[in-house]
């Protein structure tokens, strides 16, 4: 991906804080920002069930300042946000199932800690430019497709409820307290560094792990259609959102190449992998209750207003991701 | 208000828990339920800034079982919900301004504690019939009037965001876990027992106090239209919602007599009081940011589906309330 000169101007020499910075998207963002000459500080809890993995920063060495800390640890937040020009706020609990079995942990991370981060910014650094990682999960089962930003929010799980609150706090602090914040509603994001140990981040992770390990994988409800964003395109959206004045107080869907059925996605992965097997089965009962059915995003708002363009097609993103985990799987399981 | 025979059947001899039960609406509900022969337990924190006041239960003596406890005190929740047939869940932080100056407290009560209460019910008493006190505040500034339940939720303050989460948890637990819960979205509620010490519950409280004390009161933005529910009508709605099978998993607006401007409301109060003065002034800057403008509810859903009818007109509710505080003010300031 080319380095837009405006990104150099926006980020070179600037101090950037990334929560969840050892995670999949956070670490890709850190790597890109280091390349742009930014001074990057990362906060990550490295909780084993979450997305953080030191391997994601391989090769960056001391060019990134890493704090192993939990965003629920409020007393540490003021020191972390002070003096930063940007905050990419990606720390979160992402598993829908975990949010149903341990709802309070999801609330404490996705809702309560978000308010604490914003309060730390309001008191100690109200000019900080924030981009918050929100999620398509907040829409729930779509009334219509593709889903635009006007679609009602009717979450189907505790995770969706808490992410709405987290996103709403950011937009409220922008409006009432003048803190320049933007929210991006992410769909399935794919790429090197994604969690493949299990399905806690996206179901595609466990598919890729199974393929690389030569085991069959399960496709639940194969007729469902979903859309996918390549991680570099998501990173581009974060950098655009934080540097574009029109994005303050706004919320944008991210999308990507045209949606496909899960069956087709599985076939494509097997084809790219030159081998592999999967079985299609019904959704398990406990998952069905919180399943959202077909989903794909209408991302025209960010395309029009910020000029975002996803550049990586589905085949390429899957090929790059598979290639990465053929080399790196041992560091991710 | 007449005692519907179906209410006797639903509540006589039944065990009922009321959180926030020393508060304005909670205590009115407790009094009504005692009259219906229910076995009432109350939880209230009696935090001075909130609505709880022992005077609200005057005359009930030992006919109500009162626990002074905070719903944030999770270890106590299982014992409280066990064995109850009904839970009227009214504990909450109601001040919009306080939610902006101390947002974490609002979150802990209106969002986090609600999830803890529901988890206690899921684990220890999943058949408990719950009615949750939600608020019109979650709609934010109306796109259209009157506001029905389909209106988008765009809260203008931290309180609104947390109340959305609290309401959503109740509806989610109904849908996914089968816990029979209903949410009522209350508008301004008026009547004996309301907080009059300050404007933390409703601005009308401080108006009434000023009138009774013979001091002038301030009307902010007098042209705004609002609607009002008399407390007995609100109580009727709670009793209907908890005893009507069609209400499970549903959300209903409460309204009342036709809306009036604040200027007209103030004039009416002065007229009923046979004296008094007020000044109309601009909204203070810090309030304007979180003000919702005109609001009145479309309450046709609960009228149609549950047969609810607000019976007390505006003049009567104001007269009864003023009469109460002429006698009782010393116990409320």
Q: What is the pLDDT of residues A68-116, one digit of tens each?
A: 999 898 899 999 999 999 999 999 999 999 999 999 999 999 999 999 9
Q: How much is the average pLDDT of A261-289?
A: 92
pLDDT per residue as tens digits for the range B208-261: 999 999 999 999 988 999 999 999 999 999 999 999 999 999 999 999 999 999
Give chain A's contact residues with B (Cβ, < 8 Å): 100, 103-104, 107-108, 111-112, 115-116, 119, 152-153, 155-158, 161-162, 164-165, 168-169, 172, 175-176, 289-290
Across chain A, what does the average pLDDT equal?
95
| β-strand pairing of A260-261 with A225-226 | antiparallel
Q: What is the pLDDT of residue A287?
A: 79
CA dist list (Å): A115 to A36, A181, A186, B94: 30, 13, 20, 18
Q: Nearest C-alpha of chain B: how many angstroms from A104?
A: 7
Q: Nearest C-alpha of chain A: how many angstroms from B34?
A: 34
> What proportion of chain B, given as a percentage, has pLDDT over 90?
89
Picking from A111, A152, A172, the nearest residue to B111 by CB comes out as A111
- Residue A2 clears pLDDT 70, i.e. is over it: no
CB contact under 8 A, B164 and A165: yes
How many whole angstroms separate alpha carbon B255 and alpha carbon B228?
7
- Residue B17 clears pLDDT 70, i.e. is over it: yes
Which residues, listed in sequence order, are joined to residue A131 by a DSSP beta bridge? Answer: A88, A182
Residues of A in contact with B169 (CB under 8 A): 103, 158, 161
Mean pLDDT: which of A93-102, B10-19, B52-61 is highest? B10-19
Closest CA to B236 of B37, B43, B10, B7: B7
Closest CA to A183 of A200, A165, A201, A195: A165
Which residues, listed in sequence order, are joined to residue B318 by a DSSP beta bridge? Answer: none
- Residue A1 clears pLDDT 50, i.e. is over it: no
Let me know: does B242 contact B180? Beta carbons within 8 Å.
no
Residues of B in contact with A290 (CB under 8 A): 176
- For chain A, the domains span 5-193+228-258+295-312
CB contact under 8 A, A158 and B115: yes
Give every CB contact of residue B133 below 8 A, 6+ residues apart in sequence. B20, B25, B88, B89, B90, B92, B184, B186, B238
- Residue B3 clears pLDDT 60, i.e. is over it: no
Q: What is the pLDDT of residue B2?
A: 44
pLDDT per residue as tens digits for the range A3-44: 466 999 999 999 999 999 999 999 999 999 999 999 999 999
Picking from B116, B161, B176, the nearest residue to A168 by CB comes out as B161
**Rounded (10°) angle between helices B262-273 and B314-328:** 50
Q: How much is the average pLDDT of B61-68?
A: 93
Which tokens hold the place of A153?
Answer: 């929010």
CATH, range A5-193+228-258+295-312: 3.40.50.720
| β-strand pairing of B228-230 with B129-135 | unpaired
Picking from B100, B115, B153, the nearest residue to A104 by CB comes out as B115
Q: How much is the average pLDDT of B33-54?
A: 94
Q: How much is the average pLDDT of B26-42?
A: 98
CB contact under 8 A, B289 and A103: no
- Residue B176 clears pLDDT 80, i.e. is over it: yes
Q: Nearest C-alpha of chain A: how many angstroms from B200?
A: 20
Q: What is the pLDDT of residue B1?
A: 42
- The region of weakest confidence among A277-281, B5-9, B27-31, B114-118 is B5-9
Which tokens hold the place of A315?
Answer: 């085949």
Burial bucket for residue A76 (CB in 10 Å: 0-12, 13-18, 19+):
middle
| β-strand pairing of B260-261 with B225-226 | antiparallel
- Residue A60 clears pLDDT 70, i.e. is over it: yes
CB contact under 8 A, A161 and B155: no
* Optimal mutation site among B93, B138, B165, interface A, most CBs of chain A within 10 A: B165
CB contact under 8 A, A169 and B161: yes
CA dist list (Å): B167 to A142, B106, B137, B155, B249: 20, 14, 12, 13, 11
Q: Nearest C-alpha of chain A: how many angstroms from B176?
A: 6
- Residue A172 clears pLDDT 90, i.e. is over it: yes
pLDDT classification of B45: cutoffs 50, 70, 90: very high
CA–chain centroid gap for A330, Å, is 23
How many whole angstroms separate alpha carbon B285 and alpha carbon B307?
42
How many whole angstroms separate alpha carbon A116 and alpha carbon B165?
17
* Optimal mutation site among A161, A177, A178, A286, interface B, most CBs of chain B within 10 A: A161
3-class DSSP state of B62: helix
Let me know: does B297 contact B252? Beta carbons within 8 Å.
no
CB contact under 8 A, A161 and B152: no
pTM: 0.95
Complex confidence, ipTM: 0.94
3-class DSSP state of B312: coil
Q: Hey, what CATH topology would domain B5-193+228-256+294-312 get? A: Rossmann fold (3.40.50)
CB contact under 8 A, A164 and B162: no
pLDDT per residue as tens digits for the range A120-141: 999 999 999 999 999 999 999 9
How many whole angstroms separate alpha carbon A120 and alpha carbon A129?
13
Q: How much is the average pLDDT of A251-267?
A: 97
Q: Nearest C-alpha of chain B: how many angstroms from A13?
A: 34
Which 8-state DSSP code applies to residue A252?
A: E
pLDDT per residue as tens digits for the range A187-245: 999 999 999 998 888 899 999 999 999 999 999 988 999 999 999 999 999 999 999 99
Which residues, listed in sequence order, are joined to residue B168 by a DSSP beta bridge? Answer: none
Across chain B, what does the average pLDDT equal?
95
- The region of weakest confidence among A286-300, B82-96, B208-222 is A286-300
Q: What is the pLDDT of residue B4?
A: 60
pLDDT per residue as tens digits for the range A154-170: 999 999 999 999 999 99
Picking from B108, B162, B290, the nearest residue to A165 by CB comes out as B162
Which tokens hold the place of A21?
Answer: 């910075």
- Residue A269 clears pLDDT 60, i.e. is over it: yes
């Amino acid at each position: 991906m080319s380095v837009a000169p405006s990104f150099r101007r926006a980020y070179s020499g600037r101090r950037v804080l990334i929560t969840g910075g050892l995670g999949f998207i956070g670490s890709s963002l850190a790597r890109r920002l280091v390349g742009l000459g930014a001074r990057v500080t990362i906060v990550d809890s490295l909780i084993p069930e979450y997305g953080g993995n030191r391997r994601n920063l391989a090769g960056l060495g001391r060019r990134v300042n890493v704090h192993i800390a939990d965003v629920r640890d409020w007393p540490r937040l003021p020191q972390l946000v002070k003096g930063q020009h940007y905050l990419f706020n990606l720390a979160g609990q992402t598993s829908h199932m975990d949010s149903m079995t341990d709802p309070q942990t999801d609330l404490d991370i996705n809702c309560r800690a978000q308010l604490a981060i914003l309060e730390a910014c309001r008191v100690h650094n109200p000019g900080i430019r924030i981009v918050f990682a929100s999620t398509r999960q907040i829409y729930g089962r779509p009334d219509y497709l593709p889903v635009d930003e006007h679609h009602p929010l009717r979450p189907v799980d505790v995770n969706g409820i808490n992410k709405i609150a987290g996103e709403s706090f950011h937009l409220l602090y922008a409006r009432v307290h003048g803190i320049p914040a933007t929210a991006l509603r992410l769909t399935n994001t794919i790429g090197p560094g994604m969690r493949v140990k299990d399905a806690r981040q996206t179901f595609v992770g466990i598919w890729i792990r199974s393929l690389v390990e030569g085991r069959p994988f399960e496709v639940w409800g194969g007729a469902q259609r979903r859309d996918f964003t390549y991680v570099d395109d998501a990173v581009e959206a974060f950098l655009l959102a934080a540097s574009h004045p029109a994005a303050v107080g706004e919320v944008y869907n991210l999308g990507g190449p045209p949606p496909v059925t899960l069956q087709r996605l599985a076939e494509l992965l097997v084809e790219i992998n030159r081998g592999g097997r999967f079985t299609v089965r019904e959704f398990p009962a406990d998952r069905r209750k919180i399943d959202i059915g077909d989903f794909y995003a209408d991302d025209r708002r960010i395309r029009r207003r910020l000029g975002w363009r996803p550049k990586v097609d589905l085949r390429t993103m899957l090929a790059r991701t598979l290639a990465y985990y053929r080399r790196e799987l041992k560091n991710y399981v």
